[in-house]
């Protein structure tokens, strides 16, 4: 990886030696290292982000003529009952997954943080679903949810319950699959945070006669508050982005009961080819996620 200029400067050409000095200057080196990575990131992250905003306030703009549409797409979205329903469903799914997911992964982390026989196996049980692809996971759950001969109905001895086609059951069934696949990562985040809590502090609390729960409440919980917020924020965003589970299991049905914003945006773009409207919906989701992020950072500062 010797720069081409290096070899030539041995000949003593002053112009080239000058070029070589620039080539090895700190700022020039930095741009050399950054050229390819930044060009790629600009193409796949920054440009689509800006183009999305452009699409959301125009008509056309991808194959054909462009005309300015202003906030027309956004107004349509607000007036649309399907969109209002999808917004509700998205928050409903969040409410089903985030509290349970956070509580369970925290509980498991606190228990697994102690050393006992089989703890590695327990951890692996939760982590493997995280490594499994969403599609494979959802298909296996599809099989488990089958009304006739599905494992769930076999275990519960509830013959013929159609988990995914019963309107009131479909969203909880989807939520369970997301819970199943997302607990592993949150568990690992909590475990890493628990490693940083001084054992002396817990030991002192124990000597003072604190119960396990009191230790958890007064030592552990304050010690991991940053990770707790992090998990809540990232899990919320994970639920917002969940696409594969809905694609495989319900495709938004039955009667639109699992139709979320991500699904609706996919459907508008690649089902109805209404790219501008789908882009406007994406902008709405960006704004919601931005709000979540801002709230997250605000709370992060306020718990310090």
Partner 1 sequence: MAHDADPDLPHRRHPRFTPMTLVRLAVALLAFMWAVPLGWMGLMSITPDAEIFSSGILPSEVSLAHYRSAWTDIHMLGLLANSAIVSIAAIAGQVFLAAMAGYAFARLRFPGRNLIFGVLLITMMVPFEVLVIPLFLAIQKIPLLGGNDLFGNGGIGAVNSHFGLMLPNLITVYGVFLFRQMFLGFPRELEEASIVDGASRARFFWSILFPNAKPVVITMGMLAFMWSWNDFLWPLIIARDSDMFTVQIGLSSFNEQYGTRWGPLMAGSVLATVPVIGAFLLAQRWILGSFLRSGLKG
Q: Which of residues 90-129 bind partner 1 (CB under 8 A)?
A: 104, 107-108, 111-112, 114-116, 118, 121-129
User: Is residue 19 a contact point for partner 1 (CB under 8 A)?
Assistant: no
How far apart CA 33 and CA 53 sit, in angstroms, is: 30
Choose, by CB under 8 A, the member of 8, 100, 146, 295 that binds partner 1.
Answer: 146
Choose, by CB under 8 A, the member of 18, 22, 31, 298 that binds partner 1.
Answer: 31
Radius of gyration of the chain (CA): 26
User: Is residue 148 a contact point for partner 1 (CB under 8 A)?
Assistant: yes
* Minimum CB–partner distance for residue 255 and partner 1 (Å): 20
Choose, by CB under 8 A, the member of 66, 270, 271, 272 that binds partner 1.
Answer: 270
The 49-78 contact track toward partner 1, x by CB under 8 A, reads x-xx--x------x----------------
Q: With contacts defined by CB under 8 A, name the span among 48-56, 76-84, 95-103, 167-175 that binds partner 1.
A: 48-56
User: Is residue 8 a contact point for partner 1 (CB under 8 A)?
Assistant: no
Q: Which residue's structure tokens are 């049980």?
A: 125
And the tokens for 159?
């013959």
Residue 148 near residue 165 (C-beta atoms within 8 A) = no
Choose, by CB under 8 A, the member of 74, 91, 92, 243 that binds partner 1.
Answer: 243
Task: Using CB atoms within 10 Å of the CB of residue 146, give its burial: 0 to 12 exposed, 13 to 18 middle, 19+ buried.
Answer: middle
37 by DSSP, 3-state: which? helix
How far apart CA 150 and CA 108 sit, in angstroms, is: 28
Give, for 67, the enclosing helix (H) or strand (E).
strand 66-68
And the tokens for 217?
């409440």
Choose, by CB under 8 A, the member of 8, 19, 140, 169 that binds partner 1.
Answer: 140
């Amino acid at each position: 990886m010797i720069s081409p200029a290096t070899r030539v400067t041995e000949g003593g050409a002053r112009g080239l030696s000058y070029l070589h000095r620039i080539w090895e200057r700190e700022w020039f080196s930095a741009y050399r290292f950054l050229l390819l990575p930044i060009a790629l990131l600009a193409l796949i992250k920054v440009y689509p982000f800006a183009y999305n905003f452009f699409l959301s306030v125009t008509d056309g703009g991808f194959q054909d003529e462009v005309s300015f549409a202003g906030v027309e797409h956004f107004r349509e979205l607000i007036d649309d009952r399907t969109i209002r329903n999808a917004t509700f469903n998205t928050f409903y799914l969040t409410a089903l997954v985030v509290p349970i997911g956070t509580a369970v992964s925290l509980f498991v982390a606190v228990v697994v943080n102690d050393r006992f026989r089989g703890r590695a196996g327990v951890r692996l049980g939760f982590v493997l679903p995280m490594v499994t692809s969403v599609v494979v996971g959802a298909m296996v759950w599809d099989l488990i949810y089958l009304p006739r001969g599905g494992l769930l109905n076999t275990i519960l001895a509830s013959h013929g319950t159609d988990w995914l086609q019963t309107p009131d059951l479909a969203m909880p069934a989807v939520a369970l699959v997301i819970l199943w696949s997302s607990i592993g990562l949150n568990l690992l985040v909590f475990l890493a945070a628990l490693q940083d809590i001084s054992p002396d502090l817990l030991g002192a609390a124990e000597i003072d006669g604190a119960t396990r729960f009191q230790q958890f409440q007064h030592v552990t919980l304050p010690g991991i508050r940053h990770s707790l917020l992090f998990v809540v924020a990232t899990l919320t965003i994970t639920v917002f982005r969940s696409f594969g589970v809905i694609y495989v299991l319900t495709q938004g049905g039955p009667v639109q009961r699992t139709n979320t914003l991500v699904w609706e945006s996919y459907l508008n773009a690649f089902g109805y080819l209404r790219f501008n409207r789908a882009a406007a919906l994406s902008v709405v989701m960006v704004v919601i996620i931005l709000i979540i992020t801002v709230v997250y950072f605000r709370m992060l500062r306020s718990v310090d």
